[in-house]
């Protein structure tokens, strides 16, 4: 089938007409095969010249539309031509069979094709017209005193229409599935973009607010029922890392948050005299320093902790299951580690402000205390850790 279906460069998979183009191709290939087989069956098995002629006309028209569509890629013309051809041949067949031998069953294909190819408005009109003709044929049958006899033709009609229905519905399901998948992926991308800092690839401030809010709400509830554990080595729930995370939109934190009982520390980190780096080496170097520092900080953190870019040259860490003493020890180690690094050929230092969660804290108040601690560290001469 793929060999016969031409892929048009002007209709890539994300083009609104992509699936219409596919359906035109599929429908025309299916109708050509159907008309060819039906013509043979009607000629050789039923000896019906009338139906053989009808099928041959269908085969020729399908081929002409198929050929024209492959040459021009004109979706609108091909959609209308296919719909009119399919519905009028079905109607011609049903009328010539006087609606007998389940020939009316073919009309159920008309809405499937017309709605998809020419839209709701015209699809409704053509389907209603087709069904009106069917109703009229049935009415005529009711007026006919002769009893209806079921022949082999009826069996063929039922089988052929069922196969066509299954093929079309399979196609629609594929279309729907592919559409939803694309939408879901796009939503994930958008969510990721909204939560990520473009420069460093870390989570951004919005994400921090969201995570802290959830974390502290659960913490406040749990504080009423469970005592805090007091060691960083205890098994703790995790927060996603921002950098290089394959799926930052589905943090492990959210899955584990309900089990959360442990102490939380928030650390605000600021590069000392960053303005001088920009002034002396330019903003591009400044940007590279920010990226490199983000990776250095990330490399020194546990998988369980969260690092975000707060804005400018400031970062925030959220440490789970970490007591105040552990946090001071850890941040001091981090400060010394950064001071020893050569970042873009520069030696730089950081100041850190630490705040430990207490039961009165909200997301805003704990960040505010960490910020005050950072201010203290700056006023103590920078390159140090201060506690709120
Ligand atoms: N290159 C670059 N610079 C930035 C970015 N965001 C903020 N800055 C710069 O960071 C500098 C921050 O300067 P200040 O707030 O005076 O702080 P500082 O020079 O680090 O001094 P202290 O914090 O007091 O040690 C400003 O020059 C901002 O322009 C960024 O995304 N890229």
155 & 284 share domain? no
Ligand 1 midpoint to CA 248 (Å): 27
ipTM score of complex = 0.96
The tokens for 204 are 């951004």
Alpha carbon distance 93, 125 (integer Å): 20
Among the listed ranges 94-98, 153-157, 219-223, which one has the minimum average pLDDT value? 219-223
12 & 134 share domain? yes
Q: In the structure, what pLDDT confidence band is assigned to residue 260 with cuts at 50, 70 and 90?
A: low
Q: Which residues line ligand 1 (CB under 6 A)?
A: 199, 270-275, 278, 283, 286-287, 290, 312-313, 378, 382
What tens digit of pLDDT does each residue of 283-292 get?
999 999 999 9
Winning range, highest mean pLDDT, from 12-21, 151-160, 228-237, 306-315: 306-315
Ligand 1 site-directed mutation target among 198, 268, 269, 278, most atoms within 8 Å of CB: 278
Ligand 1 midpoint to CA 52 (Å): 82
271 & 141 share domain? no
What tens digit of pLDDT does each residue of 84-114 get?
999 999 999 999 888 988 999 999 999 999 9
Ligand 1 midpoint to CA 95 (Å): 81
181 & 212 share domain? no
Q: Are strands 264-271 and 350-356 parallel, antiparallel or unpaired?
A: antiparallel
The number of domains in the chain is 2
88 & 166 share domain? yes
Choosing from 193, 224, 250, the residue where a domain stops is 193
Ligand 1 atom nearest the C-alpha of 274 is 20
Alpha carbon distance 125, 363 (integer Å): 59
List beta partners, residue 324.
none
101 & 214 share domain? no
217 & 312 share domain? yes
Ligand 1 atom nearest the C-alpha of 382 is 25
305 & 238 share domain? yes
Ligand 1 midpoint to CA 29 (Å): 64
Average of per-residue pLDDT across 166-181: 90
pLDDT of residue 8: 84
Ligand 1 site-directed mutation target among 268, 270, 275, 291, most atoms within 8 Å of CB: 275
Ligand 1 atom nearest the C-alpha of 271 is 20
Alpha carbon distance 241, 233 (integer Å): 18
More confident position, 255 or 273: 273
Give 164's contacts (C-beta < 8 A, 6+ positions apart): 30, 34, 109
239 & 179 share domain? no
Closest residue to atom 7 of ligand 1, CA basis: 312
Tell me which residue range forms the domain holding 55.
Answer: 2-193
Q: What is the CATH number of the domain that holds 309?
A: 3.30.70.270
Closest residue to atom 21 of ligand 1, CA basis: 273
What tens digit of pLDDT does each residue of 295-339 get?
999 999 988 889 999 999 999 999 988 899 999 999 999 999 999
Q: What are phi and psi of 204, to 5 degrees?
A: -105, -175
246 & 366 share domain? yes
What tens digit of pLDDT does each residue of 101-149 get?
899 999 999 999 999 899 999 999 999 999 999 999 999 988 988 777 7
- The burial of 176, by beta-carbon neighbours within 10 Å (0-12 exposed, 13-18 middle, 19 or more buried), is given as exposed
187 & 48 share domain? yes
Alpha carbon distance 211, 94 (integer Å): 64
pLDDT of residue 258: 43
Ligand 1 atom nearest the C-alpha of 351 is 25
pLDDT of residue 2: 65
What tens digit of pLDDT does each residue of 23-79 get?
888 889 888 998 999 899 999 998 989 989 989 999 999 999 999 999 998 999 999
275 & 373 share domain? yes
Identify the CA nearest to 366 among candidates 298, 293, 316.
316
Alpha carbon distance 263, 89 (integer Å): 75
Closest residue to atom 11 of ligand 1, CA basis: 275
Choosing from 193, 210, 241, the residue where a domain stops is 193
pLDDT of residue 388: 86
What tens digit of pLDDT does each residue of 227-245 get?
444 444 444 444 444 444 4
């Amino acid at each position: 089938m793929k060999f016969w279906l031409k892929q048009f460069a002007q209709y890539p998979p994300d083009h609104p007409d992509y699936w219409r183009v596919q359906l035109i191709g599929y429908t025309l290939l299916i109708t050509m095969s159907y008309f060819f087989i039906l013509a043979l069956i009607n000629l050789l098995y039923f000896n019906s010249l009338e139906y053989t002629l009808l099928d041959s006309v269908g085969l020729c028209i399908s081929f002409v539309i198929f050929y024209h569509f492959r040459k021009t890629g004109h979706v609108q013309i091909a959609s209308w031509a296919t719909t009119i051809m399919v519905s009028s041949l079905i109607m011609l067949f049903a009328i010539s069979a006087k609606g007998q031998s389940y020939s009316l069953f073919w009309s159920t294909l008309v809405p499937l094709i017309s709605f998809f190819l020419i839209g709701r408005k015209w699809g409704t009109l053509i389907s209603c017209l087709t069904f009106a003709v069917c109703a009229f044929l049935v009415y005529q049958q009711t007026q006919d005193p002769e009893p209806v006899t079921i022949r082999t033709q009826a069996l063929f009609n039922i089988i052929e229409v069922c196969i066509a229905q299954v093929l079309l519905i399979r196609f629609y399901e594929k279309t729907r599935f592919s559409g939803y998948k694309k939408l879901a992926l796009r939503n994930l991308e958008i969510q990721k973009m909204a939560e990520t800092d473009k420069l460093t690839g870390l989570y951004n401030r919005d994400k921090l607010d969201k995570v802290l809010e959830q974390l502290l709400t659960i913490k406040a509830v749990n504080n009423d029922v469970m005592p805090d554990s007091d060691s960083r080595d205890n098994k703790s729930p995790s927060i996603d890392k921002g950098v290089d995370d394959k799926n930052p939109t589905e943090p492990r934190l959210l899955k584990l948050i309900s089990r959360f009982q442990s102490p939380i520390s928030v650390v605000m980190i600021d590069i000392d005299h960053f303005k001088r780096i920009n002034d002396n080496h330019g903003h591009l170097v400044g940007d590279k320093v920010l990226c490199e520092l983000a990776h250095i900080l990330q490399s020194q953190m546990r998988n369980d902790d969260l690092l975000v870019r707060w804005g400018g040259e400031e970062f925030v860490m959220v440490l789970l299951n970490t007591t105040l003493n552990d946090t001071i020890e850890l941040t001091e180690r981090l400060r010394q580690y950064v001071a020893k690094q050569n970042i873009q050929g520069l030696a730089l230092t950081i100041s850190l402000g630490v705040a430990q969660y207490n039961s009165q804290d909200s997301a805003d108040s704990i960040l505010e205390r960490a910020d005050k601690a950072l201010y203290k560290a700056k006023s103590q001469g920078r390159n140090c850790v201060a506690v709120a």
